[in-house]
């Protein structure tokens, strides 16, 4: 049942309402506050932590999340987590990653059908086939993959640390899976030969060079692109970087106007951090990320389902690959 409106909510959540009014159509805010209030109460009751990816909508990212960030930040937070329950507001592979790194925690995802075109592009059998074709080449797998695929890999990476992880393998040739465009971008920054797979992100692959040029010429905007975009888009960009690297670039450059060539909510969630910058939004929404809503987060905390589980034999092997990625981040040899 939908939680009821109380006039006091506007006072109790004055700071949050002010933030959300700057990011959303202002008439949406009274619609979200009762859900946010009910979720905060359930979080306290369940001793739960809500983690939200940067592509989540502002009412989730700012309204109910305790931990926010990119895949790497969420993976690290999961590894360090001592809560009994984690609600992962993101897509299924992220919830699996949290479960693998925090096996003692009950990991819930508000919509179990929140998938990912990259994760769906490759299976564990495909990885075994590639290993047979390229004997001796280690496999580095982007975290945007299923637990089964991670379990077949030597190490995982995110877009933030892909070059570092590839080079840490100490091999002349590495099988890099599954994003073709991220792979091509990594290949341009290392001498290691990469064997690529034809996976693509359905959100980033639709951006075009013409769109990027339009943002620059029409709006005089600096261009920041995610490496999952096609190479001709990356060639137009002033900066190419992961979700976290985009934030660091904005911090450094403080541009007057910027177009973030990535998922739409990313600009919304950064806008509050950089009030002096005008964000030009090419609005490509990830339909999988947007399956997560305040009502299904509430239902998930109330009923403690759907729970994400990973078979123990798969989890042990996948954990090894994820821990090698985290070790590279700590500057350790792997
Ligand atoms: S934005 Fe792309 S890579 Fe990220 S979850 Fe959506 S489909 Fe997958």
Return the CATH number at 195: 3.40.50.10800
Q: What is the count of structural domains for the chain?
A: 3
Structural domain boundaries, residue 324: 119-200+311-329
CA distance 143 to 266: 19
Q: Considering Cα of 252, then 265, then 271, then 145, what sign does the dihedral take?
A: negative
Q: How far apart, in Å, are the Cα atoms of 320 and each of 26, 34, 122, 327?
A: 46, 42, 20, 10
Backbone angles phi, psi at 59, to 5 degrees: -70, -20
| Contact indicator for 234, 240 with CB cutoff of 8 Å | yes
Using DSSP's 3-state secondary structure scheme, residue 179 falls into strand
pLDDT of residue 334: 82
Q: Does residue 4 lie within any of the structural domains? A: no
Q: Does residue 1 lie within any of the structural domains? A: no
- Strand order in 48-53's β-sheet? 67-69, 48-53, 85-89, 106-108
66 and 18 both lie in a single domain: yes
What residues pair up with 196 in beta bridges, in sequence order? Answer: 176
Ligand 1 atom having least distance to the Cα of 179: 3
195 and 317 both lie in a single domain: yes
Ligand 1 centre from 292 Cα, in Å? 13
129 and 157 both lie in a single domain: yes
Q: Return the residue whose CA atom lies nearest to atom 5 of ligand 1.
A: 116
Ligand 1 atom having least distance to the Cα of 91: 5
169 and 318 both lie in a single domain: yes
Cβ neighbours for 132, distance < 8 A, ≥ 6 positions apart: none
Ligand 1 atom having least distance to the Cα of 204: 2
205 secondary structure, DSSP code: G
Ligand 1 atom having least distance to the Cα of 144: 3
98 and 20 both lie in a single domain: yes
Ligand 1 centre from 151 Cα, in Å? 20
pLDDT of residue 122: 98
Residue ranges at the known binding site for iminosuccinate: 53, 71, 142-144, 159, 226-228, 243
Radius of gyration (C-alpha) of the chain in whole angstroms? 20
107 and 151 both lie in a single domain: no
Q: Return the residue whose CA atom lies nearest to atom 6 of ligand 1.
A: 286
33 and 55 both lie in a single domain: yes
Ligand 1 centre from 203 Cα, in Å? 6
Ligand 1 centre from 144 Cα, in Å? 8
| Ligand 1 pocket mutation pick from 116, 149, 266 by most atoms within 8 angstroms of CB | 116
149 and 215 both lie in a single domain: no
Q: Does residue 221 lie within any of the structural domains? A: yes
CA distance 16 to 32: 11
Q: Which of 238, 230, 246 is nearest to 184 (CA)?
A: 230
Ligand 1 centre from 232 Cα, in Å? 20
Q: Return the residue whose CA atom lies nearest to atom 3 of ligand 1.
A: 201
Each residue's pLDDT expressed in tens, for the chain with a length of 334 residues: 889 999 999 999 999 999 999 999 888 999 999 999 999 999 999 999 999 999 999 999 999 999 999 888 898 898 898 899 999 999 999 999 999 999 999 999 999 999 999 999 999 999 999 999 999 999 999 999 999 999 999 999 999 899 999 999 999 999 999 999 999 999 999 999 999 999 999 999 999 999 999 999 999 999 999 999 999 999 999 999 998 899 999 999 999 999 999 999 999 889 999 999 999 977 789 999 999 999 999 999 999 999 999 999 999 999 999 999 989 988 888 8
239 and 106 both lie in a single domain: no
Q: What is the pTM of this model?
A: 0.95
Ligand 1 centre from 286 Cα, in Å? 6
Residue ranges at the known binding site: 53, 71, 116, 142-144, 159, 201, 226-228, 243, 286
CA distance 177 to 162: 11
Q: Which residues line ligand 1 (CB under 6 A)?
A: 91, 116-118, 144, 201-203, 263, 286, 288-289
Ligand 1 centre from 201 Cα, in Å? 5
Q: Does residue 190 lie within any of the structural domains? A: yes
Q: Does residue 257 lie within any of the structural domains? A: yes
């Amino acid at each position: 049942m939908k939680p009821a409106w109380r006039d006091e909510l506007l006072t109790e959540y004055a700071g949050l309402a002010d933030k959300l009014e700057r990011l959303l159509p202002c008439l949406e805010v009274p619609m979200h506050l009762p859900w946010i209030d009910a979720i905060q109460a359930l979080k306290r009751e369940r001793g739960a932590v809500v983690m939200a990816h940067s592509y989540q909508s502002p009412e989730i990212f700012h309204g109910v999340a305790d931990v926010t960030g990119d895949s790497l930040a969420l993976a690290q937070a999961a590894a360090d987590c001592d809560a009994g329950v984690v609600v992962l507001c993101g897509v299924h592979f992220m919830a699996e990653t949290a479960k693998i790194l925090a096996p003692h925690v009950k990991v819930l995802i508000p919509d179990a059908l929140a998938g990912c075109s990259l994760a769906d592009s490759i299976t564990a059998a495909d990885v075994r086939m590639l290993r047979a074709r390229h004997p001796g080449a280690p496999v580095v797998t982007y975290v945007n993959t299923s637990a089964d695929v991670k379990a077949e890999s030597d190490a995982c990476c995110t877009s933030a640390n892909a070059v570092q992880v590839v080079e840490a393998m100490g091999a002349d040739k590495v099988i890099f899976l599954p994003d073709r465009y991220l792979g091509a971008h990594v290949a341009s920054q290392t001498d290691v030969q990469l064997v690529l797979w034809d996976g693509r992100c359905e959100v980033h692959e639709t951006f075009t060079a013409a769109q990027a040029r339009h943002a620059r010429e029409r709006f005089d905007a600096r261009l920041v692109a995610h490496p999952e975009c096609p190479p001709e888009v990356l060639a137009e960009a002033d900066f190419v970087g992961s979700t976290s690297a985009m934030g660091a670039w904005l911090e450094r450059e403080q541009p007057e106007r910027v177009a973030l060539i990535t998922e739409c909510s990313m600009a919304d969630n950064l806008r509050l951090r950089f009030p002096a910058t005008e964000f030009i939004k090419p609005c490509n929404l990830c339909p999988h990320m947007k399956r997560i809503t305040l009502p299904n987060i509430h239902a998930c905390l109330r009923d403690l389902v759907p729970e994400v589980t990973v078979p123990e034999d798969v989890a042990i092997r996948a954990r090894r690959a994820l821990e090698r990625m985290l070790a590279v981040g700590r500057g350790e040899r792997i």
